Amino acid sequence: MQRKIRVLLTHKIPKKGIELLKNHFEVVILDSGSSPDIQLSKILPTVDYLVSLLSVRIDSNLLGNCTNLKGIANYAVGYNNIDVNVAIECGIPVTNTPDVLTNATADLTWALILAITRRIVEGDQECRQAVFSGWAPEYMLGYELSGKTLGIVGMGRIGSAVAKRGTGFDMKICYYSRSKSNNLPESMKVTYLPKLKELLESCDIVSLHVPYTDETHHLIGENELDLMKNNAFLINTSRGKVIDEVALIKALSESKIAGAGLDVYYNEPLIPKEMRELKNIVLTPHIGSATKQAREAMAIMVAENIIAIEKGLIPPNLIPEMKKENLKGNH
């Protein structure tokens, strides 16, 4: 009898995705009690497909053993956890989960923008600790967004959804990407700045939406923070290593910039003590896509991609580096 196709999940994902996979395949989920890395190296050579999380590194050590692996579906839009060059060499298609988490992540970005500029977390603490002693003309003054300039770094799916929300706040919008975007609605008035320097010097809110790559490693370091205005805020919902975290802590503690809102960290889930103690920062625990709607849609998406590969089709969310000609066999 032919063996059933096996799909390995490094972690449990929402039920709809698991059910869809179970309709077609045998599903194996790693034991949450012990390290996924150790279990992975043992089990991976025995399965046909892998569903990975962004916290699990899929590198040459692991993929070197996996000649049978027919596909990797990353349960995230960012796939910097996967060594894509090795996957290409091995002819293993890699898919991600674009679009379905764009609105959730853009909303969270705005939650950070509003929380840091209007001191929401500080205010919440004052209320809970019964320090709030009544309305006063100069109590808890924050920063007003209307008329200010929002600078988007990486005007892709999420960057443009953040920009669109910015127009509702009557903000001027600038952006920097390596290329000028052709997909923005005509009605959205945005200015393309071909140099990051210009954006950093001129914007009041700088929001990062680039993928993490060799090129974007430390895109924002000491020099870039120096270029920002003293009353500007830095928001990061992309990846922690896009910012030099040590330089950011220094800039915030010396009030070189007004504040920061972060959802992602250099060495997740660790957040340096010096950062946790800063007053001019708002921190969320990597929850950009954490809505029931987005996480369910992502679960269905990973399942659909694996089903497509197994049928010999190009999966709908094959990552852009993996052009058809880079894949071996029937993919």
**Residue 79 burial (CB count, 10 A):** 22
Name the active-site residue from 239, 245, 295, 304.
Answer: 239
**CB under 6 A: which stretch of 19-27, 72-80, 177-185, 308-316 binds ligand GLV?**
72-80
239 is a catalytic site residue: yes
Among 91, 142, 156, 272, interactor with ligand NAP by CB under 6 A:
156
Q: Is 78 in the site for ligand GLV (CB under 6 A)?
A: yes
Name the active-site residue from 89, 122, 222, 268.
Answer: 268
Distance of CA 98 to the CA centre of its chain: 11
Q: Is 101 in the site for ligand GLV (CB under 6 A)?
A: yes
From the list ligand GLV, ligand NAP, none, pick the one residue 98 interacts with, judged by a Cβ distance below 5 to 8 Å according to partner type. Answer: ligand NAP
286 is a catalytic site residue: yes
Work out the end-to-end distance of the chain between its first and last CA atoms, rounded to an integer number of angstroms.
25
Identify residues 93-122 at the interface with ligand NAP (CB under 6 A). 98, 101, 105
From the list ligand NAP, ligand GLV, none, pick the one residue 151 interacts with, judged by a Cβ distance below 5 to 8 Å according to partner type. Answer: none
Name the active-site residue from 157, 286, 295, 331.
Answer: 286
Comparison of 47 and 235: residue with beta carbon closer to ligand NAP: 235
Binding mask 283-312 for ligand GLV (x = CB under 6 A): -----xx-----------------------
Q: Return the closest-CA partner of residue 326 out of 81, 50, 87.
A: 87
Alpha-carbon separation of residue 259 from 152, 206, 248 (angstroms): 16, 11, 10
Give every CB contact of residue 134 below 8 A, 6+ residues apart in sequence.
Answer: none
Distance of closest approach, residue 319 Cβ to ligand GLV, in angstroms? 12
**CB under 6 A: which stretch of 55-63, 75-83, 273-281, 313-321 binds ligand GLV?**
75-83
For residue 150, the 8-state DSSP code is E
Q: Is 77 in the site for ligand GLV (CB under 6 A)?
A: yes
Helices (H), the chain: 15-24, 36-43, 60-63, 84-90, 102-117, 120-128, 157-168, 196-202, 222-227, 245-253, 273-276, 292-310
76/60 Cα distance (integer angstroms): 20
Q: Return the closest-CA partner of residue 47 out of 17, 81, 12, 72.
A: 72
CA angle 199/203/204 to nearest 5° reads 155
Distance of closest approach, residue 84 Cβ to ligand NAP, in angstroms? 12
199/289 Cα distance (integer angstroms): 26
Q: At 207, which helix (H) or strand (E)?
A: strand 205-208
268 is a catalytic site residue: yes
Helices (H), 150-207: 157-168, 196-202
Q: Which residues are catalytic?
A: 239, 268, 286
Residues forming the site for ligand NAP (CB under 6 A):
77-78, 98, 101, 105, 154-159, 177-179, 209-213, 215-216, 237-239, 263-264, 286, 288-289
User: By the criterion CB under 6 A, which residues form the site for ligand GLV?
Assistant: 54, 76-78, 101, 288-289
